Chain A
Amino acid sequence: MKIKMLTSAILLSGATLMTLPSWAADTIKVGVLHSLSGTMAISETTLKDTVLMMVEEQNKKGGLLGKQLEAIVVDPASNWPLFAEKGRELLTQEKVDVIFGSWTSVSRKSVLPVLEELNGLMFYPVQYEGEESSKNVFYTGAAPNQQAIPAVDYLMNDLDVERFVLAGTDYVYPRTTNKILEAYLKAKGVAAKDIMINYTPFGHSDWQSIVSDIKKFGGEGKKTAVVSTINGDANIPFYKELGNQGISSEDIPVVAFSVGEEELSGLDTKPLVGHLAAWNYFQSVESDANDEFIAKWKAFTKDSNRVTNDPMEATYIGFKMWANAVTDAGTTDVDAVEQAMIGQETPNLTGGIAVMNKNHHLSKPVLIGEIQDDGQFEVVWETDGVVAGDAWSDFLPGSKDLISDWTAPIKCGNYNTKTKTCSGQVY
């Protein structure tokens, strides 16, 4: 315990130093609340750079409302309670107008009470487990019905999969997603004995017996697939072990919700070829907007090998929508911008138009890609048109009657359509 406290103390002091000095007097301040050190730095630094790139681009266009944008970067250091402190610092000391930030659900849950207390505005750009809708947060990543459910549909309909292994890291996102998926599969007529659920700790590296269990589970005559909510680092040893034990993607395909281009870059992708991932964006999708975005990103990072990924697109869409909403509202006042956000439209990088719905979630297309040996994805399936993000899952008993609607007259994040009441608890 002592060690943990000590870590926080050291990281805290380091993090405060990271804050960039503010220079101009009258600017619109954009807070960036992404971890730049610690375990999540691997994913979140990219998003920080994306926001900085978008800010720079907007400033070249003349800023917003005649003012320049100014990015305020803080480092919550992958330390969940620190997200709340840093969020408070951004809102009270720096007085930012908007925050782009968070990756893990636990960090979002940590900063949420602060946002609601101080009436801040945050854009959350990562796929998550749903079951939440706050007035102060816009969720530009995928909800379960925009990633997990279409992926399972694809497995059942196109690959004729009958048995499912739900493997995940042991924390809130995989547990909730797997609960939704289990209910969904059972509703689709999959027997309980055909579903295997397995949780592993963060950073799990010894996959021998789990992979051998999966092999046994899959060797019983029915086509089997793994639905993986395994997060971060643990994926690589997992795929390596699959390869070493001779399980190919044709035998038992793995569809992952947390493995994107960024995670694959700088990896030996040979053992992963043919496995699947479900996202709303792939770098390999050919469109003019995407080509332009990739070119800009490579120019901004001065690295021609940098890749783009789904949370980056979510950040991009969120930023564009926020800029438009501020222009429409004529102010950066949170309440005005929040109302102006609903109904905002921005072209997706992969084609089609993303729309911000009344529940603060986006309508986006869903794509399923197969990993290629160059670390990119080949799209093998996509939804016709866009799918509207559903904050409250229809497959969980506790939440199937709930909806979120932030327009008048409901103005509620968890409105019960049966009892016609708003529980008042906003998250």
Chain B
Amino acid sequence: MRHLIALCCCLFGLLSFSVYAAESSPQDSLLTELVGAKLKNMTPILEKLANTQGEAILPLFRILLGGDLYYIKADKSLVGQFDEQGNTVYKDVFSQVVVPNLSKKDVKKIRVNNTLRGYLRNAIAQIQLTAKSPELRQSAVRELLSKLDKDTINLIEALYPNEANKKVKEAMGLALSMYAATSIDLVPSNRLVAIERLSTSLEGDVRNTLTKLMKDENPAIVKAASEALENIAQRANRFAFIDQLFFGLSLGSVLLLASIGLAITFGVMGVINMAHGEMIMLGAYTTYVVQLIMPNYIDYSIWVAIPAAFLVSGLMGVLIERLVIRHLHGRPLETLLATFGISLILQQLVRTIFSPLNRQVSTPSWMSGSWEINPVLSLTLNRLYILAFALLVFIALVIILKKTSLGLNVRAVSQNRSMAKAMGVKTNWVDAMTFGLGSGIAGIAGVALSQLTNVGPNLGQAYIIDSFMVVVFGGVGNLLGTLVAAFSLGIATKFLEPTTGAVLAAIIVLVFIILFIQKRPKGLFPQKGRAAE
């Protein structure tokens, strides 16, 4: 608090023109002004704070940007809301000392809107140009690229010679070149050098600057700018291709996860399981419940949710197999109808228990955001993890089927049921386990999908058609086929989408599969040998 008062005291001298200056406690004038201010009047107040305070105001700006700035109703002093081990605490903005005995009812939020957030981001960047960490400095420079004015440039110019970090220096050089390229009062040759320098960058702001230069009066500048733009476009296109490939792989991994369980129940056992989507849904809801149980450990919840979802969906699968499917063996149409009925029952069950509204599943912090390789290519982390996860699940499943005794039994039963039975394999038990395994894998898929899409009663329906499509396309009974089919469909869809739009892309892919199945009814990798009959 003493810090705050000292800080505001020096403000006072500078702000004698402020209307509040004449009031009884002028020290806090700017900060209290913030409390009562209308949104549109807040920017000038913040500007004054930034101009007079410099770095000291950073904590306030950061808290405000995050939307965590509150004021205590009783004395109108500002506090920040923090989350400490799941508890909400309020701290003094500047000293970071916890203000005790405050509940949500005692404080009121200071709201921000987009204009303010834009201003804050910029102001923070300006102040952070001198920050200690090079990453912060670099992001500050990049943030400022879009709004380069004389003051900012002067600041960067002053800092440039002493900058030790190579990356930051490069970014600063870029900012200076951008400014130089657009300064009309500069000698054209200097501007051309600046443009040359810009042509190596992929920053969006650089492209905007160059596009603007295309309207320059000097033809030499226009020519240089257009050459630079072409240069950039060529490199950007290459990265755009990689980006699209990643989108395709990512969609493929989702398809793989959704269909791999079905590849077991439908592919290996031959059961047309319409309730497969609901197994995925149960897995997603399990994630939700796990997060409810451990709200303070969201980051680790996924590791609990994966085995939990496997068990929940797997047990449900065993239950369905024992109670329904077992009795319908060899009657595919009845199985289809019965499992479809089960899927409706499960959906309505979830609606009754959890309400028809979608449930919130939080994304762990380590899965949020993206891995930025360069300004035009960034891979979203959650998709990256799910891609890796899908492959892991696939490998695990292949190992189970090829290397374990359960796998051996499953293969034996699916190839020749009566012979397997004659050899002493408990076919009933194997059926239940296989169905449980397929359903459990679907549950795991649900955990992954809960990170990408809505967790609601209709989650499963969205994936059931796709799953069947992948399994049939890949060849029934062939796990490798499922893998290849999932990724090829994913990549095909994503490469079609930009030209045809999402709706048409889905239709084209479907038509292609229908034609393909006409030609090769057994899919990409048909089963061979006697087992196929």
Contacts and interface: CB of A to CB of B under 8 A. Distances in A.
B20 to A, nearest CB: 25
Contacts of B39: 378, 380
Nearest to A246: B370
Given A209-B494, A210-B497, A250-B114, A200 B359 contact: no
Contact of B113 (A7, A42, A265, A378): A378
A221 interface: yes
Contacts of B247: 206, 208-209, 212
A256 interface: no
A87 interface: no
A273 B67 contact: yes
B356 A42 contact: yes
Interface in B452-501: 452-454, 456, 458, 462, 494, 497-498, 501
Contact of A244 (B111, B244, B369, B456): B369
A209 B501 CA distance: 10
B357 A250 contact: no
Contacts of A240: 363, 452
A7 B343 CA distance: 11
A266 interface: yes
Contacts of B426: none
B360 A266 contact: yes
Interface string B348-372: 1001000011111111000011101
Given A203-B462, A266-B357, A208 B494 contact: yes
B118 interface: yes
A245 B370 contact: yes
B502 A233 contact: no
Contacts of B497: 209-210
B402 interface: no
Contacts of A351: none
B227 interface: no
A53 to B, nearest CB: 17
Interface stretch (B276-284, B317-325, B375-383, B406-414): B375-383
A383 interface: no
A253 interface: yes
Contacts of B332: none
B212 interface: yes
Given A42-B357, A274-B114, A373 B344 contact: no
A81 interface: no
Interface in A373-395: 373, 378, 380
Contacts of B359: 266
B454 A213 contact: no
Contacts of B380: 208, 241, 244-245
Contact of A220 (B208, B251, B456): B208
Interface in B406-427: none
Interface residues of B, number: 57
Contacts of A129: none
A37 B348 contact: yes
Contacts of A201: 502-503, 506
B503 A200 contact: yes
A339 to B, nearest CB: 38
A243 B204 CA distance: 18
B114 A370 contact: yes
B113 A370 contact: yes
Contact of B114 (A220, A253, A265): A253
B186 to A, nearest CB: 21
Interface string B385-416: 00000000000000000000000000000000
A262 B348 CA distance: 20
Contact of A236 (B341, B344, B454): B454
A376 B251 CA distance: 32
A5 B501 CA distance: 29
A297 to B, nearest CB: 15
Given A213-B498, A244-B380, A268-B360, A236 B453 contact: yes
Contact of A373 (B67, B121, B503): B67
B114 A249 contact: yes
Contact of B204 (A45, A208, A219): A219
A405 B487 CA distance: 57
B458 A221 contact: no
B360 A267 contact: yes
B244 A209 contact: yes
**Which 5 pairs of residues, A with B, have the shortest CB-CB distance?**
A221-B208, A41-B356, A219-B204, A244-B380, A205-B453
Interface of B: 39, 67, 109, 111, 113-114, 117-118, 121, 204, 207-208, 211-212, 243-244, 247, 250-251, 254, 274, 337, 340-341, 344, 348, 351, 356-363, 368-370, 372, 378, 380-383, 452-454, 456, 458, 462, 494, 497-498, 501-503, 506
Given A205-B453, A209-B494, 8 more contacts: A199-B501, A201-B502, A221-B211, A237-B453, A246-B378, A250-B114, A273-B67, A372-B111
